[in-house]
Amino acid sequence: MTNELNGAEAMVRMLEAQGVRHIFGLCGDTTLPFYDAMLKLDHKINHVLTRDERSATYMADGYSRVTGRVGVAEGPSGGGATYILPGLIEATESSYAVLGITTDISVGSYGKYPLTEVDQEALMRPLTKWNTVIKQAAHIPRMVRAAFRAMTTGRAGSAHLGLPYDIQYDPVDPADIWADPKHQSYPAYPQAPEPGAAEAAVDAILSAKNPLIVCGGGVVIAGAMAELDRLARRLDIPVATSISGQGSLAETHPNCLGVVGSNGGTDQTWEMMEAADLVVFMGARAGSTTTARWEAPKPGTRVVHFDNDPMVIGANYQTEVGVVGDLRLALEQVNAVLDARDQDDGQFGGAAAIADIKRRKFEVFNRFAGSSETPIRPERVIAALMKVLPSDATILSDPGTSCPYFSAYYQLPLPGRYFITNRAHGALGYAMSAALGAWFGRPSSKVVAMMGDGSFGFTVGELETVCRSRAPITYIVFSNSNFGWIKASQFADKGARYYNVDFNRVDHAAIATAYGVKSWRVENPDDLERVLKEAIAHDGPTLIDVITQALEESNAPVRRWMG
C-alpha cells in the first residue's frame, strides 16, 4: 500500500465520496480518532456539534426529508449508542434515509468488560434497514457503500455503522475509496411496475363510481407530485392524504380533499372515505391513523394499492390490483395508459364535491379561528400562520397539540415536503432539532417549528446549537402546562379521570432568551399576528410562547375525541 489512510480517515473520505456535506453529532472517548481525522483532512463536510445524540438523528432526519439525500448522525459508544436509537427507528418506519454512525469500544477488548460495552449490532438490528459493526479497517469502504446502497434503494430507511476504536487507527488502502454517485440521493435505481399493472389499475379506477385516492408519504419521497396532479385533474378524482402524505398535492389544489383519518382528519373529510366504492392507496401503508383504526375502507370496498414495497400490498386489505414499483414511474405509466385511451373527461366530479366539504369544514374552523377567547384557541394560531408565512415556508410539528390542528386546517400552497412531523413513533422533542436539520438542508426557506410545552422540555438544550448555527428558525410553543395528548385521551376514554399529566407552567420565552433566542410570550390573541410577523422577519432564531387552550377543552380534529 502507498499513501495509506487510517480507518478514521477512510470513514471521512468515504462519507465525502458518498456526497455527504453535513454530519450532526456529539463527541465521546471512542470518537477521538474520527474527530481528529475530520479536523486534519481537507474536506467539504460541515460537522454540527449537537447537545444530545437523539437530536443529532432528528436533525439528520429533517435534513433528509427536505433534500432527498442521506442524513448522517454520529455519536460515541455506550450512552451515545443508546441515545441515537429513536431517530433511527423513526427514519426506517417513515421511509427516510438516515445513517447513524456510532464509534465503539476496541475489537481487541470485546468480552473483557470495558467501559461502555454493548452489543451495538444486536441493539440496532430491529431499528434499521441495514446494520453492521465493522470488524476490520479494510472493510470500512465496502461497508459504507453497502449502507448507502441499502438506505437509498427500494423503500428507504436508516442504516447503522459501528466503528470500533482500534480499527480507526489501522491502515486502509486509498484505492478502495470510491462510491456510486446514484446512492447520494433517493430513490436510487427506481424500478418500474411489471407490465400490465398500470393498465389493470386504470381499468379498476375507471369502473368505480366514487373512487378516492389516499396518499401517504411515498408520493413526495418519489417526487411523483406532478404525475399525481395530472392524473387528478384529468379524471377529476378526489385525492386525500395521511399526515405524512401532505404535500402530495398542494392543499389549495381543487382535487385535494386534505387529511383523512383519526388525527388531523375531520368528520367532513371522512364522509368521502366512507362513501368511496374504491380506495386507491398510493405510497401509504393503510395503517391505523389514516383508516381510523381500519374503520374505513369498509369490508367489501374495492382496493387498489400502489407502493414500492411489496410487503405492504394486501397487508391490511384484500387488494384487487397491486402496483409495485416507484410511484413516479408507476404514475407515469398510468398517465401513459390514459393518454393512449384519450381519457381526459373528468368523469368523477371530485373538485365540486371537495369544494362543498371544505366549505363546511372551514365554517367550523373559522368560528374558532376568529375567537378572542383566552387561553388562545389553537385554531387562532393556525389562522395567523396562514396569513403570515411565505408560501415556501418549511413547517415542522411535534405530534402533540399543534399537529392535528395544522394537518386539518393549514392549506399548504405548494406540493412537496413543506410539512414535517414524526408520524411513525411520535417521539416528543423531535421538531426543535429536526428544524435545524431542515434549515441546513433548505436554508432559503423560512423554517417554523411548532411544539407543545411538554415537547419543549425534551430537547430545549438544542436552542444553544440553533444559536451557535445562527439559524433563523421560528419556534412556536403551544403552552398549556400538561402532556396534552394524554390528558385529552384521559378526558375522552377515561371519563376525565386525570392522572399525572399536568406540570407547572414554565416561562419558555425567558428560557429561550437566556440561550440567546429573541422571544415573546403571547397571552392576548390580538397580539398574535403582529408578533408572528416580527419573529419571522427577525434575522436570527426566535421563539413565541403562546398560552393556549388545553386539548381536552378544545375542538381538536381527532376523531375519537369528537362528538
pLDDT tens-digit profile of 232-260? 999 999 999 999 999 999 999 999 999 99
pLDDT band at 563 (very low <50, low <70, confident <90, very high): very low
502 has pLDDT over 60: yes
Q: Where are the beta strands (DSSP E) in 95-136?
A: 98-104, 130-133
pLDDT band at 110 (very low <50, low <70, confident <90, very high): confident
Q: Are residues 442 and 513 in the same domain?
A: yes
Q: Which residue range is the domain that position 85 belongs to?
A: 5-184
Does residue 360 belong to any structural domain of this protein? no
Mean pLDDT of 518-530: 97
CATH number of the domain at 528, please: 3.40.50.970
Mean pLDDT of 390-398: 97
pLDDT in tens, 533-557: 999 999 999 999 999 998 777 788 8
Q: Which residue has the cell 480518532?
A: 33
Does residue 152 belong to any structural domain of this protein? yes
| CA nearest to 195, candidates 297, 19, 323, 351 | 323
pLDDT in tens, 397-430: 999 889 999 999 999 999 999 999 998 898 999 9
Does the reported pTM lie above 0.85? yes
Number of neighbouring beta carbons within 10 Å of residue 27: 17
Q: Are residues 173 and 75 in the same domain?
A: yes
Q: Are residues 180 and 204 in the same domain?
A: no
Q: Are 256 and 354 spatial neighbours (Cβ–Cβ below 8 Å)? A: yes
125 vs 48: CA distance, rounded Å = 26
562 has pLDDT over 70: no
pLDDT in tens, 463-492: 999 999 999 999 999 999 898 888 888 888
Q: Among 103-107, 408-412, 510-514, 525-529, name the one with the lowest average pLDDT.
A: 103-107
Does residue 146 belong to any structural domain of this protein? yes
Mean pLDDT of 118-143: 97
Strand order in the sheet with 159-164: 46-49, 22-25, 71-75, 98-104, 159-164, 130-133
Q: Mark which of 184, 208, 234 sits at the end of a domain.
A: 184
Q: Are residues 337 and 407 in the same domain?
A: no
Q: Are residues 175 and 216 in the same domain?
A: no
Q: Are residues 405 and 457 in the same domain?
A: yes
430 vs 542: CA distance, rounded Å = 17
The mean of the pLDDT values for the chain is 95
Mean pLDDT of 142-159: 98
Dihedral through CA 389, CA 393, CA 396, CA 401, nearest 10? 20
pLDDT in tens, 197-218: 999 999 999 999 999 999 999 9
Does residue 363 belong to any structural domain of this protein? no
Q: Are residues 222 and 141 in the same domain?
A: no
- Classify 72 in phi/psi space as left (phi over 0), alpha (psi -120 to 50) or beta: beta
DSSP secondary structure code for residue 212 in this structure = E
Query: Helix/strand/coil (H, E, C) string of 509-523?
Result: HHHHHHHCCEEEEEC
Please name the residue ranges forming H helices in 85-175.
85-94, 120-124, 140-152
Q: What percent of the chain has pLDDT over 90?
A: 89
Break the chain down into helix, strand, coil percent, rounded to 5.
Answer: 45, 20, 40
Pairing outcome for strands 321-324 and 394-397: unpaired
| CA nearest to 421, candidates 446, 445, 392, 455 | 455
Does residue 191 belong to any structural domain of this protein? no
Q: Are residues 430 and 377 in the same domain?
A: yes
Q: Mark which of 302, 327, 353 sits at the end of a domain.
A: 353
Give the total number of structural domains in the chain: 3
Mean pLDDT of 151-162: 98
